[in-house]
C-alpha cells in the first residue's frame, strides 16, 4: 500500500511507540500527543509535538515520506526557534524519513537532530490496527441512514429565493435537490461524521443535514454562508453549525476526519466531496473562539 505524508503522520500520531522503539533512550517512556499540525506563525506549522508523561519533556517530530535532505534541517530548526519564542521548551527534535545520506546524518548529529528511518512494515501493521472510529472512516462502508434514527426533516428551499430565478433555474435546483435527498438515503456512509450541504444560491442560501453513524440530523433553517470564519457568526454558516453540533453531541468520540459533500446545481460535477481532518476543518472554517 502507498502512503502519503498525512497517512504516515496519522499513524505516528496514534502510535508514538514507533518512535520510542527507534530511540534506546526512551525505551520505557510513555508519550502523548501535545500538539498536532501546530500553527507556530503565519508561515510555520509543525507536524507533531509529543510530551513524555513522566518527565514532561517535549519532542518535536517532522515527517517526510521520501528521503530527507539538508533543507529539512533549516525547516525543523525554524520550528524549534518558533517554539522557544512562545515558551515551548523542546527537548529533542526528530526527522522521520525514508532514509538519510551519510553526509546528512553527520550534519544532523552536529545540530543535535535525531534521524529516524520510517519502518514501513511497522507503519503498515499499525495502519491496519488503527481503530476505524478514531480515524473516523469506515473500512467497509455498508451503513445507511435508518428512518428510525432521523431527527427532523429535510429543510424546504425558501420560496423567496425562487423569485430571483428563471423557470429553467428553478427546475434545475428542484431536480438537484431531489437527487441530493436520494443520495443522502441511498449512499453508504464513508465517514462516521458527514456534512451534507446543498447550494440554493451561492453566498446567499445553503441547506444542510448531517449523517452520523446511521443517524440523520436535519437543520430546518437556511444559512447565508458555507463559511464565515469570524466572531459573532453563530447561525450564519453551515460549517460552524455542523461544528457546534459535533462539539455538543459527539466530541467525546475522537474522530480524526470529517467528510463534507456540497451539492451545486449549477456546476459540474453536481456534488463535490471534500474530506478534512478535524484540525484542518477547525483551522479553515472555524474562528478560534468557537474551538
How confident is the model at residue 81, as a pLDDT? 95
Q: How many CB atoms sit inside 10 A of residue 158's CB? A: 15
How confident is the model at residue 227, as a pLDDT? 87
How confident is the model at residue 258, as a pLDDT? 92
How confident is the model at residue 287, as a pLDDT? 84
**Average pLDDT per consecutive 10 residues, the chain (291 residues; last block may be shorter):** 66 69 65 83 87 90 90 95 94 92 96 88 67 80 88 91 88 94 95 96 94 94 86 82 91 82 92 87 85 81
How confident is the model at residue 33, as a pLDDT? 80
SS3 at position 217: strand
Query: What is the H or E stretch that residue 48 is in?
Result: strand 45-52
Instruction: Report which of 4, 85, 87, 86 is spatially closest to residue 47, judged by C-alpha positions.
Output: 4
CA distance 93 to 61: 6
Q: How many CB atoms sit inside 10 A of residue 81's CB? A: 12
Angle at alpha carbon of residue 33, lines to 32 and 35, rounded to 5°: 150
How confident is the model at residue 127, as a pLDDT? 63
92 Cβ contact partners less than 8 Å away, ≥ 6 residues apart: 57, 59, 60, 114
CA-to-CA separations, 252 to 105, 208, 222, 249, 255, in angstroms, rounded: 42, 23, 28, 8, 9
Angle at alpha carbon of residue 90, lines to 131 and 54, rounded to 5°: 60
How confident is the model at residue 176, as a pLDDT? 95
Q: Which domains does the chain have, with CATH numbers?
A: 5-130 (3.40.1350.10), 147-290 (no CATH)
Q: For residue 212, what is the DSSP state? A: E
pTM value? Answer: 0.63
CA distance 70 to 79: 15
Amino acid at each position: 500500500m502507498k502512503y502519503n505524508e498525512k497517512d504516515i503522520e496519522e499513524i505516528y500520531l496514534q502510535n508514538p511507540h514507533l518512535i520510542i522503539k527507534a530511540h534506546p533512550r526512551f525505551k520505557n517512556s510513555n508519550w502523548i500527543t501535545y500538539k498536532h499540525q501546530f500553527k507556530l506563525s503565519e508561515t510555520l506549522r509543525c507536524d507533531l509535538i509529543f510530551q513524555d508523561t513522566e518527565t514532561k519533556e517535549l519532542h518535536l517530530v517532522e515527517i517526510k515520506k521520501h528521503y530527507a535532505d539538508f533543507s529539512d534541517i533549516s525547516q525543523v530548526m525554524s520550528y524549534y526557534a518558533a517554539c522557544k519564542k512562545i515558551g515551548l521548551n523542546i527537548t529533542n527534535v526528530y526527522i522521520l524519513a525514508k532514509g538519510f545520506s551519510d553526509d546528512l546524518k553527520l550534519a544532523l548529529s552536529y545540530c543535535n537532530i535525531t534521524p529516524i528511518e520510517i519502518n514501513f512494515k511497522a507503519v503498515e501493521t499499525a495502519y491496519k490496527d488503527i481503530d476505524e472510529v478514531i480515524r473516523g472512516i469506515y473500512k467497509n462502508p455498508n451503513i445507511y441512514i435508518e428512518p428510525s434514527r432521523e431527527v427532523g426533516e429535510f429543510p424546504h428551499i425558501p420560496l423567496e429565493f425562487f423569485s430571483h430565478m428563471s423557470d429553467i433555474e428553478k427546475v434545475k435546483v428542484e431536480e438537484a435537490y431531489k437527487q441530493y435527498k436520494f443520495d443522502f438515503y441511498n449512499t453508504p456512509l464513508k465517514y462516521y461524521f458527514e456534512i451534507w450541504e446543498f447550494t440554493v444560491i451561492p453566498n446567499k442560501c445553503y441547506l444542510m443535514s448531517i449523517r452520523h453513524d446511521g443517524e440523520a440530523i436535519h437543520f430546518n433553517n437556511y444559512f447565508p454562508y458555507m463559511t464565515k470564519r469570524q466572531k459573532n457568526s453563530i447561525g450564519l454558516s453551515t460549517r460552524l453549525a455542523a461544528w457546534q453540533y459535533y462539539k455538543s453531541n459527539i466530541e467525546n468520540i475522537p474522530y480524526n476526519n470529517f467528510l463534507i459533500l456540497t451539492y451545486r446545481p449549477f456546476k459540474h460535477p453536481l456534488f463535490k466531496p471534500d474530506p478534512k481532518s478535524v484540525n484542518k476543518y477547525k483551522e479553515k472554517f472555524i474562528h478560534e473562539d468557537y474551538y
